[in-house]
Amino acid sequence: MEKKIRVLVAKVGLDGHDRGAKVLARFLRDSGFEVIYTGLHRTPQEVAMAAVDEDVDVVGISLHSGAHLALVPKVINYIREYGGNPDEMLILVGGVIPTDDIVELKKMGVDEVFIPGTPISEIVEFIKTKLPEKRKKNES
Amino acid sequence: MTRIDEKRREWEEKCLKPWLQKAGQREERFETLSGVEVKTVYDPLDIEHLDFVKDIGYPGEYPFTRGVYPNMYRGRLWTMRQFSGFGTAEDTNRRWKMLLEEGETGLSTAFDFPTLMGVDSDDPLADGEVGKVGVAIDTLKDFEILFDGIPLDQVSTSFTINPPAGIILAMYVAIAEKQRVPKEKIRGTIQNDMLKEFHAQNTLVLPPEPSLKIIVDIFEWGVENVPKFNLISISGYHIREAGSTAVQELAFTIADGMAYVEAAIERGIDIDRLAPQLSFFFNSHNDFFEEIAKFRAARRMWAKIMRDEYGAKDPRSWWLKFHTQTAGCSLTAQQPLNNVVRTTIQAMAAVLGGTQSLHTNSFDEAWALPSEEAVRVALRTQQIIAYESGIPNVVDPLAGSYYVEWLTDKMEKLAWKYIEDIRKMGDGSMLRGVLRGIENGFFVREISDAAARYQREIEEGKRIVVGVNKFTIEEELRIPILKVDPEVQRRQIERLKKVKAERDNEAVREALEWLRSAAENDENVMPPIMEAVRSYATIGEIMGVLKEVYGTYKKPIII
């Protein structure tokens, strides 16, 4: 049997808006992914630790706090620090994120940013196609 | 009625049925946004069971279905109150003055996350969040700047703040003292509604029981000291934003309101003194008639509850006064100008539903905090409804509509069913029932399930969101986006350091010790909080003492 893709859905920082994160977690689970949800108010260290400990393939970070440019790179750096390899994972961000910041986040190593209203089917498709692509690219 | 009944049957048989056979219709089943099935057409038979005098009546009289004031907006328009704040106190003071100049009639404060959660700007947890989604407040010093040139005897101010609500109220009183405005005169609202935080909004610091204890402390202190100030804004808004239906929003908000009243009565607070200082806060979402029905049902329910269940004597105590915000969750990032139209419809529903104050969302809020241009359009939307549409000229103009009266009654019945379930959970007590529902995950599960249902409908294309899953275009974002100065955090931390260096640290220590002893000995925490604020203790220091005494809360994970 093929190994299920493991996804960490994470809320980082002080922001309590968890509707998007929870709905996403539920739908990804229903789409056949293995989903771990961090719960609320996690620090970048806690999210990174969970990503490494749980050996996930995808880290999905949800923010509605405007703190994405400060917190997302920290998560990525801590994953590396704790012995994980962000280049082998998909790093996804979702929430209220201005266009200019999307460009910035991608420079920081984020694979994609999903804005409000994104159909979850699109996120599912993205994970299924991009995860093997990214890993293949890193092998070569 | 027999004549109407005969006519209805005849119409169904001879007119509707052949038409449907020939032309069909778009859906098998039509329903409201909450999933309440609605018929093709409504007639007097649908509201036969309602009594005009008893259930609908006249505005300004029990059961207030039609509004709390006899002439509603013919006397005074609703307060146009835009939720606003970002960056430092200086940035927000400037935006507020612009809004007041542009015709806004009340202030409403958005705080940043560190302030909302009761941590200081220099706390490691605050890193990256200072001033981002609201104004950063650490001490009274920031409040002095925030209210510079804003006379508290001429304006009312709303504060969306929960765990540190008592601290913010104390700061506002301290500003009044500095401006020599008697505290008995200040007007405004603190949100101070922790129950809905546990259900939905998740600004969580202390566990439920001590959170409630402090809220009742604020009630007790507030009726004595700030009699014109709303001591709570019992909020359905966030419950709805978290994904609930309109019925759940209505039911859970009223249930929370009942829990607060029961907690106050247990403390021995006179209900007729407290009631005028209670206020409510609802969402106005896309389903126009359902929202209007929800507002009307809420008023009628609360009047019955206050008069008949809790025995309030003063008719003023039976009023449900409420603020409305249009639905943030209905805004789309795609084709952002469409949001102006959504917001207009939602704002009209709020006005037709008899709101006391209104915030209209800006069209760019699925992208960022609103730009000046966007917030101006939002405010103008209210002004156009107020001054051009004619809507405010007649009180409750939709009363008597067969559909609206039927739907109002339906919403009420569905909400009562929830309330009775919650009461059962608490063995007859709403207070215990709501606390039990928080403990066993009832509210969170109800809301999460509704949110998932809504998303599923969108995914399956059963629910159309214009510009998102239908009528989509390839577009480049062409709206200006507000950027918060990245220097805010550094500047704010510098100011905090300076305040700490200049204040009388012995006075701070004494006030915090007084607070600790009050919390430990189950005394009212407001007098020591007032003292701590006056001596420039930080929000983090004050909340820190409360956390040490009461512990903190970690929310169980329910997906």
Helix (H, G, I), strand (E, B) or coil at B158: strand
Q: What per-residue confidence (pLDDT) applies to B488?
A: 94
Measured between CB atoms, which of B114, B241, B459 is closest to A121? B459
C-alpha distances (whole Å) from B216 to each of A128, B6, B37, B519 are 52, 56, 40, 13
Q: Which residues of chain B neighbour A41 with C-beta distances below 8 Å?
A: 117, 202, 204
Token pair belonging to B423 = 């009461």
- Tell me whether residues A65 and B129 touch, CB distance under 8 A: yes
Q: What per-residue confidence (pLDDT) applies to A140?
A: 66
Instruction: Report pTM.
Output: 0.96
Q: Which residues of chain B neighbour A117 with C-beta distances below 8 Å?
A: 332-334, 366, 465, 468
Which amino acid belongs to residue B228? K
Token pair belonging to B142 = 């920031």
Under-70 pLDDT residues of chain B: none
- Tell me whether residues A26 and B452 touch, CB distance under 8 A: yes
Asked if the structure places residue A98 within a domain, the reply is: yes
Asked if the structure places residue A29 within a domain, the reply is: yes
Q: Mean of the per-residue pLDDT values for chain A?
A: 94
- Tell me whether residues A119 and B459 touch, CB distance under 8 A: yes
Residue window 37-76, chain A: list those with CB within 8 Å of chain B: 37, 39-41, 43, 64-67, 69-71
Domains with residue ranges and CATH for chain B: 52-459 (3.20.20.240), 503-550 (no CATH)
Q: DSSP class of residue B109?
A: E
Where residue A71 sits, what CATH number does that domain have? 3.40.50.280
Structural domain including A45 reads 6-139
Asked if the structure places residue A1 within a domain, the reply is: no
Using the predicted structure, report yes or no on whether residue A1 has a pLDDT greater than 60: no
Asked if the structure places residue A133 within a domain, the reply is: yes
Q: What per-residue confidence (pLDDT) applies to B324?
A: 97
If we measure between CA atoms, which residue out of B152, B164, B120 comes closest to residue B139? Answer: B120
Q: What per-residue confidence (pLDDT) applies to B103?
A: 85
> What is the edge-to-edge ordering of all strands in the sheet holding A6-11?
A34-37, A6-11, A58-63, A90-95, A112-114
Asked if the structure places residue A126 within a domain, the reply is: yes
- Cβ atoms within 10 Å, residue A71: 23
- Going B474 to B476 to B479 to B482, the CA torsion angle's sign is positive
What is the complex's ipTM, to 2 decimals?
Answer: 0.92
- Cβ atoms within 10 Å, residue B95: 22
Q: What per-residue confidence (pLDDT) applies to B39?
A: 97
If we measure between CA atoms, which residue out of B335, B392, B337 comes closest to residue B362? Answer: B337
Q: Which residues of chain B neighbour A71 with C-beta distances below 8 Å?
A: 128
If we measure between CA atoms, which residue out of A64, A74, A40 comes closest to residue B134? Answer: A64
Asked whether the beta carbons of B349 and B288 are under 8 A apart, the reply is yes
Asked if the structure places residue A39 within a domain, the reply is: yes
Asked whether the beta carbons of B254 and B206 are under 8 A apart, the reply is no
Q: DSSP class of residue B444?
A: H
Measured between CB atoms, which of B333, B459, B465 is closest to A120? B459
DSSP states of B278-304: EEEEEEE-S-HHHHHHHHHHHHHHHHH
Q: Which helix (H) or strand (E) holds B322?
A: strand B322-326
Asked if the structure places residue A122 within a domain, the reply is: yes
Asked whether the beta carbons of B543 and B551 are under 8 A apart, the reply is no
Angle in degrees, CA B231, B201, A72, rounded to 5: 130
Residue reference for tokens 């539903």: B353
For chain B, say whether A116 makes contact (Cβ under 8 Å).
yes
Helix (H, G, I), strand (E, B) or coil at B80: strand
How many domains, in total, are found in chain A?
Answer: 1
Q: What per-residue confidence (pLDDT) applies to B484?
A: 78
